[in-house]
Amino acid sequence: MINRIEKIIKNNKLVSAYKITEHKKESIELFYVKDKLETNRATNINSFSVVIYRDFDGFRGNSSFEVFPEFSDEDIESLINKALDRSLLVKNKYYDLPKNKNIKLNDSKSELLNMDFKDVALNIANAISKANHYKDGSINSYEIFVNKNYKRIINSNGIDLNEVSGDIFVEAIPNWVGKDEEVELYTDYVTSAINYDEVTYKIDEALNNCKLRSIAKKLPEGLTKCNVILPQEEISEIIEFLARQTSYQNVYMKTNILNVNDNVSGDNNDKLNITLKPQIEGGAYKTLFDDDGVILNDFNFIKDGIIKSYHGDNRFGYYLGIDNPTGNYKNAEMEAGSLSFDEMKKEPYIYCMYFSSPQLDDYSGYYGGEVRLGLYFDGKDCYPVTGFSISGNLNNDFKTFKFSKEVDTYKNFRGPKYLLIKDMSVN
């Protein structure tokens, strides 16, 4: 099918360049309510994303459309002509597409791909059920997706790449009926690794967090500053902020506030060492090449707290005169920090476990948000708290961050599980 689409495109003389991406997805999906299987289905989806480029008046316009296997040649020709018309409305500065460089992909196959997906899904359901053993707590509903993803990309400059990956996605709604309040919390789990015990642990942890939320108190009046510990989910957001700040696009558009040779860590002993990667241990997103067909390799963009290089996609790399753009990454890995979780908790602290709407502003550096559930240690007692906000500014706080020795994987980030921030504003 992809070759048929390419042949039709080549017959149109108005097309200056093209890119075709094939996506195949096979999945087993289970939907449970109160531990009862309500729906199960198997999917097999095949689609093609086409981008048409048209050069005119010194510009390179583009437009995209989707093609499905049942489309006729006439259908595809019509979509191409419509895309050519739309592309005249896009006046991008000219840029070339990536070229075939005959580089071998460093592909690490997931063990998931060699397993029966139905068995995996049922084993995950069993692992969730093991955590569902409390009198006052239960999982209201949960959904399980076990996916096989195939991707192939070709373009008019000879790119022809393909990869296969597998992933597991679980989302659940744990519930706890407390003495004064009934609480629900959303939780999800994404991975490419098979670890049923970890699934049970994650669901059990979510249920116990519901229990804590049902008995949570307000912070003491007058508390305006406190040491704050953030979980890995929030650390990953901060790392993504750094990645955005150092992207070719932000640099070209002059919207970045960080530059090469900037010292992000200052004199802090916990020097940031961050590497962008095509795949990470336990991560859900394997991307051996980006959406333009640029092959991805490990790229250490912050070393010992110093920003070493910018990175990003082919188009903005071309605009900046970069000979070999790095490509766009989905995964990042960071070296462990200097403190254990226990060491972080020696002084009074608030461990922020659930946010209602965490915020991070790229331009001001502001970060924070309302906390739905935290643990407060006043130096003597530790108890759950809720209904407060924290706030800080990354431009100042980076130089004081202390990261944990404990390391784990959260979706597309592998690195420290905890971050300690001294004297953060609380209200």
Q: What is the CATH number of the domain that holds 200?
A: 3.30.2290.10
Q: Tokens at residue 198, please?
A: 């970890």
- The model's pTM is 0.92
Q: Tokens at residue 353, please?
A: 């476990």
Whether residues 119 and 206 share a domain: the answer is yes
User: In the chain, how many domains are there?
Assistant: 2
Whether residues 181 and 272 share a domain: the answer is no
12 occurs within a structural domain: yes
Contact 289, 296 (CB under 8 A): yes
Q: Tokens at residue 423, please?
A: 């004297």
353 occurs within a structural domain: yes
393 occurs within a structural domain: yes
How far is Cα 281 from Cα 182, in angstroms, rounded to an integer? 37
Alpha helix (H) ranges present in 253-330? 314-319
Quote the pLDDT of residue 215: 94
205 occurs within a structural domain: yes
368 occurs within a structural domain: yes
Above 90 in pLDDT, residue 83?
yes
Whether residues 174 and 267 share a domain: the answer is no
- Asked which of 162, 189, 214 is the last residue of a domain, the reply is 214
Indicate the pLDDT class of residue 48, thresholds 50, 70 and 90: very high
220 occurs within a structural domain: no
Whether residues 371 and 305 share a domain: the answer is yes
Mean pLDDT across the stretch 287-304? 96
Task: Give the type of residue at 330.
Answer: K
Quote the pLDDT of residue 364: 86
Whether residues 171 and 289 share a domain: the answer is no
Q: Tokens at residue 306, please?
A: 């110093």
How far is Cα 60 from Cα 16, in angstroms, rounded to an integer? 9
Whether residues 201 and 342 share a domain: the answer is no
Quote the pLDDT of residue 356: 87
Quote the pLDDT of residue 272: 94
Whether residues 231 and 379 share a domain: the answer is yes
Strand partners, 176: 137, 183
Quote the pLDDT of residue 127: 97
- Asked which of 173, 188, 214 is the last residue of a domain, the reply is 214
Whether residues 264 and 165 share a domain: the answer is no
Q: SS3 for 293?
A: coil
Half-sphere exposure of 172 (CA within 13 A, CB side): 27
Mean pLDDT across the stretch 82-94? 97
> Closest by alpha carbon to 401, among 415, 414, 387?
415
295 occurs within a structural domain: yes
Above 80 in pLDDT, residue 103?
no
Whether residues 82 and 162 share a domain: the answer is yes
Q: What domain range includes position 16?
A: 2-214
**Selected residue with higher pLDDT from 181 and 74:** 74
Whether residues 185 and 126 share a domain: the answer is yes
Indicate the pLDDT class of residue 27, thresholds 50, 70 and 90: very high
> Closest by alpha carbon to 332, among 255, 407, 254?
407
* pLDDT tens digit sequence for 150-179: 999 999 999 999 999 999 999 999 999 988
Whether residues 334 and 418 share a domain: the answer is yes
Indicate the pLDDT class of residue 266, thresholds 50, 70 and 90: confident
**DSSP state letters, 34-94:** TTEEEEEEEEEEEEEEEEEEEEETTEEEEEEEEE-TT--HHHHHHHHHHHHHHHTT--EEP
Indicate the pLDDT class of residue 229, thresholds 50, 70 and 90: very high
CB atoms within 10 A of CB 250: 19
- Asked which of 180, 214, 248 is the last residue of a domain, the reply is 214
Whether residues 9 and 86 share a domain: the answer is yes
Question: Position of tokens 């359901």?
Answer: 125
219 occurs within a structural domain: no
Q: SS3 for 232?
A: helix
**DSSP state letters, 109-131:** --GGGGS-HHHHHHHHHHHHHHH
CA dihedral sign, ordered 355, 236, 170, 23: positive
Quote the pLDDT of residue 104: 73
